[in-house]
Amino acid sequence: MLNLLNGPQTMGRGRVFWICAALVLAAALVYPAFADPYDVGNFGYFLIWIFMALGLCVMWGLCGMLSFGQTFFFGIGGYAYGVLAIILGNGPAATIVGLFGAVALAGLAAAVLGYFMIYGRISGVFFGIVTLSFTLALAFFLGQTAGPEWAIGRARLNGFNGMQGMSPLSVPWFGGPVVLEETALYYVLVAGLTATYLLLRVLANSRFGNVLVAVREDPERAELLGYDVRRYQLIAFVLGSALAGVSGVLYTSWGQFITPSSIGLPAAAMPIIWVAFSGRTDLTATLVGTFLLLVGFQTLTIYSQETALVVMGALLAATILFVPRGFVVGIGELLARPRRKRLAPALSPDDARP
Amino acid sequence: MMGNLFSYFYQFADVFSFLVLSAAGLAIIFGMMGVINMAHGEFIMCGVYVTAATFHAGLPLPLAQACGTLVAALIGMVLEVVLIRPLYNRPLDSLLVTWGLSLVATQGTLVLVGSTFPGIGTPGGGFEVGGYGFSVYRMVLFAASLLVLAFVYLLFMRTRFGVHARAVMQNAGMAQALGVRRSQVYALSFGIGAGLAGLCGALYAPTMSLIPTMGASFIVEAFVTVVVGGSSVLLGTAPAAAALAIVRTGLNAWYGQIIGQIGLLIAVILIIRVLPDGFSGWLAKRES
Amino acid sequence: MNRRSLLLGATAAPLLGLGHFAQAATPIKIGLLEDISGDLASIGLPKLHGSQLAADEVNAAGGIMGRPVELIHLDPQGDNARYQEFARRVLQRDKVDVLIGGITSASREAVRPIVDRLNAFYIYTNQYEGGVCDGSMLSVGAVPEQQLSTLLPWMVEKFGKKIYTIAADYNFGHLSSAWGNSILKPLGCEIVGEEFIPLGVSQFAQTIQNIQRAKPDWLYMLDVGAAQTSFYEQKNAAGVSLPMASPVKIMLGFEHKRFPPGVMKDMYAAANWFEELDTPGAENFKKRWRAKFPNEVYVNDMGYNAYVAVMMYKMLVERAKSTKKDDIRQVMAAGDAGIEAPEGRIVIDPKSQHCSHVMRLISVDAQNKVSTLKDFGDIKPYWLSQVGCDLTKSDPKEQYTPDHLPTR
């Protein structure tokens, strides 16, 4: 299985890449020893969002389905975790049930909606807009739950002001449970993200991943070759959406707060921006690019005040115009170019054309 | 009785014109070029601001509105050449570029013009039917939406540009081989789409409060109309707007605005489930 | 400065009697979160200006206990997640002494768990739907019992008992409408219509018609956001002309400076601050504001409250002789902690940590002119302590509403 870590569907292979990756991971692990607690917490906060970016990378980059629905499942996960954590109370057992329950619910919702759309042969741009409609409908719905009648047990959805008062995730540990905050949360996120990233790499290079790419390149051809295209699409959609649910749970636990504005526009467009900027066809690019973009946008907002959004928009447009395959993929290809001449011509995962 | 009947018509006409006017520009750009223009709301905002600024400078309202439309169209054509042209074969990327553009436009307007802008005031006054008061200007908007539909029809069916445009739409390569200049057609289409967005803004400028982010309040309606309409403006936009207006008017009247809004989105999902290519895809299929 | 000079300084300072001076030079840091981009920029900008004016004046007058005030402003762009990020940043990284800001109730609720966890002190400067019973928070804006229990009975007396409510479908709208009902029903009023409008809706033909059908005596307006203010223009165009009452128009949204004359005609509001207020204290304040920000469209109550918040904080720190939250809370618990604000004297209620306000009834005429019709005098925030919130005894850190009351 480990040999599937490398393959045609993922950039970066060979000793140099893996040594670099190990160094980055090691640096991430020792980072809290040198940084002040705020930076560690903030760093961890960025990692929360990467799960949903990776999910979008799987369904859009690998399988060609542009979904505006990442924040829909983010919201399902977040709100479900909130409800469960409020009803079940704190402590590792309760919050971990909350985590898995919420992610399962997000996955289930994705299975139902995905079935509706994918088996209804909705594709291309329309897939994006139908998912956007779902997302906006959920945001509108949650926005109007301000009244006391919108409560599940003790958990009030609380409309636009958002749900709050849920206990943060905690894990059992030697010498008593540890609440996942700051440094503890950071380490769990680093571990979780590393595991997710490696598993998705294996998946992408497995037979399953190859079929996904075949579907992206030409669904009809894939179908004629005997694959049940819709089943593959549905699995990719559920997987990607469940990852958005993971982000939702983590975000809610991190701030003990979630509102409908994390679901509606403009939040719904953000994952697409991250992934497109990074290079949607590659997991590593998505991982690195999303992180850089999150750091970059926050830094811009802090230092450039009211011009931040102008700079962001201009940067984004410039990236798309001048680095067509995505920023990180572009750099990755630049780095790989001299090696590629010596090696066999790499399969170029061409742009997903809708 | 008379009042109630007219009021149903009035409500329907009001929602219908809002849907048609806000969607027409988006539909042309999407139908012609396959580009989803995320900056559509900002072209509307541009129409609003230019109209308001020229009106305050002393122009009569209709002229100010013409200015708003023209400026939006010109900006659209320039942006098409600079931003969209390099992305002809990458429609999804043009979505991102236009999204970036919309960020720059809203926040740029905020920084340059300020967070609020003095309003215009609705002309025309009111009239009464069966004991209810109605706004004359709303009827003007309805007429304008019908005129826009007629304009689009004539443009595509009765002009040389229309023939070229439809040729490019059906088969860009073949059309180019026959001497149609695709880039010219696209630049014009984008200009017309942006101009129609500007027109929408210009027409609604006297009825709304003006802030840089106001384009967003048109976006959801514009998108759903285009999706339900499908890729052809000629066949799709009018029936889509009519269908959605009926759904929305009914729900608004019986259950209030919240259900109206959610119901609109659910109707979209259901219609797309039944007609994956929208109304125009369905109509085109029936014709062939 | 390397370590040796630091050591030298540390040993030299007490010898030279500079210890006091060195301490005096460290500024008191105020973390400020105000939107200056995005949807709410038109409200966030005057708030930022109010804080800046206050900081300038405090520094010009020798600072707080001799220490200068330093504002650390970040722009959360109207995004709740950014509010969370930046609240952490200013509290943990910049180690500010107090956090001020937030516009929507959602942004306040986003910030509050972080403030509570980091045991910080937070001042919320907006008028809002009321009910937050949290020892870490001081609210300087007006709350419903101050705005509505003055305004609504006056409207009933003047215009009649049939009322149509139009509210944003938003916590503020729901709660204020419930507040309205609880005040109006005992007066024998009939709510002939109650409509909730989703945020961002800008078209009101149906609503206008419903109003005409219900034939109310006046409208109770609780709309929120720029899109919803389009209602006024559209209602006028349809020829509906009814008196209106609102706790958020005029002094907050300065619609009378943005809309053509006639649109806001017959709008009534109860305000602790509005720019047309002409007491000597108010005139002086406006002059100072206009000297610093000559292009301000309107000095609205949010900006004014932001100014008051800094002044209130100065008073609290000086009386507590400390910036520690516990010491400040002891001052607030005394019950007489207050300042002479431009509106008049305002005092912190010890049980709820909300402020009393001098409320005035204002109205707009057909020429967009604002006039003061009545001075209600000093109105205390009484609701929270009435339902059992007593921060001098316990700190539940909750937001209570009429349908979510503390369990006694």
- pLDDT digits 0-9 by tens, B16-75: 999 999 999 998 988 888 888 889 999 999 999 999 999 999 999 999 999 999 999 999
* Domain finish residue from C225, C246, C267: C246
Residue C189 lies in a domain: yes
C114 and C97 share a domain? yes
C389 and C309 share a domain? yes
Q: Does pLDDT of A302 surpass 60?
A: yes
Q: Does pLDDT of B273 surpass 70?
A: yes
Which tens digit of pLDDT belongs to each residue from A82-93?
999 999 988 888
Q: Tell me the CB-side half-sphere exposure of residue B146, using CA atoms within 13 A.
A: 7
In chain A, residues with a C-beta closer than 8 Å to the C-beta of B92 are: 66, 276, 352, 354
C138 and C32 share a domain? yes
Q: In the prediction, which pLDDT does C12 show?
A: 40
For residue A322, give the chain B residue with the closest CA.
B86
The pLDDT of C229-255, averaged and rounded, is 90
**Cβ atoms of residues C257 and C203 within 8 Å:** no
Torsion angle, CA of C301/C304/C309/C315, rounded to 10 degrees?
A: -130
Q: Amino acid identity, residue C207?
A: T
Q: In the prediction, which pLDDT does B261 show?
A: 81
Interface probe, candidates B30, B87, B104, chain A, greatest A C-beta count within 10 A? B104
Q: Does pLDDT of C2 surpass 60?
A: no
Does residue B269 sit at the A interface (CB-CB below 8 Å)?
yes
Write down the residue that tokens 């005057």 correspond to. C46
The pLDDT of B186-210, averaged and rounded, is 93
Can you tell me the distance from the alpha carbon of A106 to that of A263, in angstroms, rounded to the nearest whole number?
13
DSSP string computed for A28-74: HHHHHHHS-HHHHHHHHHHHHHHHHHHHHIIIIIIT----S-HHHHH
C132 and C28 share a domain? yes
C170 and C281 share a domain? no
Can you tell me the distance from the alpha carbon of B51 to that of B72, in angstroms, rounded to the nearest whole number?
10
Chain B, 25-84: which have a CB under 8 Å from a chain C CB? none
Write down the residue that tokens 């073949």 correspond to. B174
Check the CA dihedral C149-C150-C155-C157 and report its sign: positive
For residue C398, give the chain A residue with the closest CA.
A165
Can you tell me the distance from the alpha carbon of C258 to that of C289, in angstroms, rounded to the nearest whole number?
20
Can you tell me the distance from the alpha carbon of A263 to that of A132, in angstroms, rounded to the nearest whole number?
10
Q: Does pLDDT of C245 surpass 90?
A: yes
* Burial state string for A151-179 with b = 16 or more CB within 10 A and e = fewer than 16: eeeebbbbbbbbbbbbbbbbeeeeeeebb
Can you tell me the distance from the alpha carbon of C331 to that of C334, in angstroms, rounded to the nearest whole number?
5
Q: Does pLDDT of A343 surpass 70?
A: no
Domain harbouring C187, CATH code: 3.40.50.2300
| Count of domains forming chain C | 2
Q: Does pLDDT of C95 surpass 60?
A: yes
Nearest residue, CB atoms, C36 vs list A45, A146, A306: A306
Return the SS3 of C196.
Answer: strand
The pLDDT of B119-136, averaged and rounded, is 85
Nearest residue, CB atoms, A255 vs list C73, C77, C84: C84
Look at C77 and A305 and tell me if their CB atoms are within 8 Å. Answer: no
Q: Which of A25-39, A295-309, B72-86, C109-123 has the lowest mean pLDDT?
A: A295-309
* Domain residue limits, chain B: 2-213
Q: Does pLDDT of A192 surpass 90?
A: yes
C282 and C390 share a domain? yes
- Chains with 3+ CB–CB pairs under 8 A to A are B, C
Interface probe, candidates A36, A257, A312, chain C, greatest C C-beta count within 10 A? A257
Q: How far is C361 from chain A (nearest CA, A)?
A: 29
- Residue C337 phi, psi (nearest 5): -75, 115
Can you tell me the distance from the alpha carbon of A90 to that of C363, in angstroms, rounded to the nearest whole number?
51
- Residue B37, exposed/middle/buried by CB under 10 A (0-12, 13-18, 19+)? buried
Residue C218 lies in a domain: yes
Q: How far is C313 from chain A (nearest CA, A)?
A: 25
Can you tell me the distance from the alpha carbon of A275 to that of A60, in angstroms, rounded to the nearest whole number?
9
Does residue C370 sit at the A interface (CB-CB below 8 Å)?
no
Look at C171 and A158 and tell me if their CB atoms are within 8 Å. Answer: yes
Q: In the prediction, which pLDDT does C7 show?
A: 38
Write down the residue that tokens 């002190």 correspond to. C121
Does residue A6 sit at the C interface (CB-CB below 8 Å)?
no
For residue A37, give the chain C residue with the closest CA.
C92
Return the SS3 of B38.
Answer: coil
Can you tell me the distance from the alpha carbon of A292 to that of A274, in angstroms, rounded to the nearest whole number?
9
Residue C2 lies in a domain: no
C107 and C209 share a domain? no
In the numeric block, which tokens belong to residue C33? Answer: 């979160």
Does residue A293 sit at the B interface (CB-CB below 8 Å)?
no
**First-to-last C-alpha distance (Å) of chain C:** 57
* Domain residue limits, chain A: 2-28+39-342
Q: In the prediction, which pLDDT does C22 show?
A: 42
Q: In the prediction, which pLDDT does C37 show?
A: 83
Q: In the prediction, which pLDDT does B156 show?
A: 87
Q: In the prediction, which pLDDT does A339 show?
A: 53
Residue C309 lies in a domain: yes
**First-to-last C-alpha distance (Å) of chain B:** 44
Nearest residue, CB atoms, B133 vs list C38, C212, C233: C212
In chain A, residues with a C-beta closer than 8 Å to the C-beta of B38 are: 269
pLDDT band at A206 (very low <50, low <70, confident <90, very high): very high
Per the prediction, chain C carries an average pLDDT of 89
In the numeric block, which tokens belong to residue A192? Answer: 């979780």
C130 and C151 share a domain? no
Residue C10 lies in a domain: no
Does residue B92 sit at the A interface (CB-CB below 8 Å)?
yes
- Number of separate helices (H) and strands (E) present in chain A: 13, 6
Which tens digit of pLDDT belongs to each residue from C31-45?
999 998 877 888 889
Torsion angle, CA of A114/A116/A117/A119, rounded to 10 degrees?
A: 100
pLDDT above 90: percentage of residues in chain C: 69
Q: In the prediction, which pLDDT does C94 show?
A: 93
Return the SS3 of C272.
Answer: coil
CA B182 distance to own-chain centroid: 23
Q: How far is B280 from chain C (nearest CA, A)?
A: 27
Chain A, 302-341: which have a CB under 8 Å from a chain B CB? 306-310, 312-317, 320-321, 324
Q: Does pLDDT of A58 surpass 90?
A: yes
Nearest residue, CB atoms, A162 vs list C109, C401, C403: C109
Interface probe, candidates C36, C164, C166, C209, chain B, greatest B C-beta count within 10 A? C209
Specify the pairing of strand C357-364 against strand C370-379. antiparallel
Q: Does pLDDT of A352 surpass 50?
A: no
Can you tell me the distance from the alpha carbon of A190 to that of A199, in angstroms, rounded to the nearest whole number?
14
Nearest residue, CB atoms, B103 vs list A132, A134, A312: A312
In chain C, residues with a C-beta closer than 8 Å to the C-beta of B260 are: 206
The pLDDT of B155-179, averaged and rounded, is 87
Q: For residue A271, say if its preceding peptide bond is cis, omega within 30 degrees of 0.
A: no
Residues with Cβ within 8 Å of residue C175, at least 6 apart in sequence = A146, C129, C130, C131, C144, C401, C402
Q: Tell me the CB-side half-sphere exposure of residue A259, using CA atoms within 13 A.
A: 24
In chain A, residues with a C-beta closer than 8 Å to the C-beta of C36 are: 305-306
**Cβ atoms of residues C87 and A311 within 8 Å:** no
Can you tell me the distance from the alpha carbon of A154 to that of A148, in angstroms, rounded to the nearest whole number?
10
Chain B, 191-220: which have a CB under 8 Å from a chain C CB? 206-214, 216-217
Domain containing C112 equals: 24-142+277-359+378-399
Nearest C-alpha neighbor of C197 from the set C161, C236, C234: C234
Can you tell me the distance from the alpha carbon of A200 to that of A58, in angstroms, rounded to the nearest whole number?
8
Look at A146 and C109 and tell me if their CB atoms are within 8 Å. Answer: no
In the numeric block, which tokens belong to residue A291? Answer: 């992180």
Return the SS3 of B183.
Answer: helix
Higher pLDDT, C153 or A337: C153
